[in-house]
Structure 1
Amino acid sequence: MSPILITVARILVVVLFVVSGAGKVMNPGGVGAAVAGKGLPYPQVLAYLAIAAELGLGLLIALGFYARAAALLLAVFTAATIVLFHDFWHMTGDALRQNQIHAMKNLSIIGGLLMICAAGPGRLAINQR
């Protein structure tokens, strides 16, 4: 497969995380409030971990630097967001539909991340581990 195509695909898989993480950097208090709203402990700590996961791991994958490990960690993080934030099985009406869509989208993204984890970042990467 084309090294350019693999690189473009690797970057496209994480665009959502990098943009979302950058937005969270501008409002960590709001992220903490959302985490607290779910009843999770240490909301500010978890907010900064979410920022680090989205922005930090997303950038590592985009650059192809320890992309396999970063993709696995980001897949675990994304699975946790399904369980903790998009728990549509506890919802009804519009909330159910919206969160089910987000959960299915996240499952698709997890699939892409696991492909990066399995196949590696391709030849056009900072390292190919």
Structure 2
Amino acid sequence: MNSSAQATMFLASRILLSLLFIVSGARAAMFFPGSAAYFASLGFPAPEATAVLAILIELGGGLLLVAGWKTRWVAWLLVAFVAIATATAHRFWEFDAAQFNNQLNHFLKNLAVIGGLLYVAAQGAGRFSIDARRS
């Protein structure tokens, strides 16, 4: 594969990964009371502050991932964020039969997202990024 195609694929993968975070963060901000209530239902202390932090990580991390700025660090931050979200919100084994499959799917999807982010953390942003222009 030539380097131009590879660089384009790195950019496409960053965009596709980031969409999950940008859309989720934007929706959490638009429906903030529900977001805070959700964190309260999970037992988080200071659910409003937790919701603000989650929104900042999702929106900021998603946008930085698209831009390719501090990409490896951002990928690691998002790995930690998704791991915490998975461990606290998608414990499929604790749900009843009606919710089990949905939560299992979220759990597995999050593992796949973590896999993609680990790849970004290992490989970097690629040529079409702020990181590449600064080096």
TM range (shorter): over 0.9
SS of the residue 2:129 aligns to = coil
Matches of 1:18 and 1:117, distance apart in 2: 19
- Structure 2's unaligned 5+ residue stretches are none
Give yes or no for the alignment of 1:7 onto 2:11: yes
Q: In the alignment, residue 76 of structure 2 is paired with which amino acid?
A: L
For residues 90 and 124 of structure 1, the distance between their equivalents in structure 2, rounded to whole angstroms, comes to: 43
CA distance in 2, matches of 1:55, 1:124: 20
Partner of 1:47: 51
Partner of 1:121: 125
Whole-Å Cα distance in 2 between the matches of residues 96 and 90 of structure 1?
A: 8
**Percent identity among equivalent residues?**
39
RMSD of aligned alpha carbons: 1.2
Give the alignment of 1:66-85 within 5 angstroms.
66-85=70-89
Partner of 2:107: 103
Q: What CA distance in whole angstroms lies between the structure 2 residues aligned with 1:101 and 1:37? A: 21
Q: Deviations over 1:49-100 (max 9, x none)?
A: 1101111101100110111101100011001111111111111202111101
Q: Distance in 2 between matches of 1:61 and 1:47?
A: 21
- The CA deviation at 1:24 is 1.3
Secondary structure in structure 2 of the residue aligned to 1:127: helix
Moved over 4 A (4+): none
Matches within 5 A, 1:81-92: 81-92=85-96
Q: Which residue of 2 aligns with 1:31?
A: 35
Instruction: Give the distance between the partners of 1:25 and 1:39, measured in 2 at CA.
Output: 20
Q: How many residues align?
A: 129
Please give the alpha-carbon distance, in whole angstroms, between the structure 2 residues aligned to 1:94 and 1:76.
29
Structure 1: tracts of 5 or more residues without a match: none
TM superposition score normalised by structure 2: 0.91
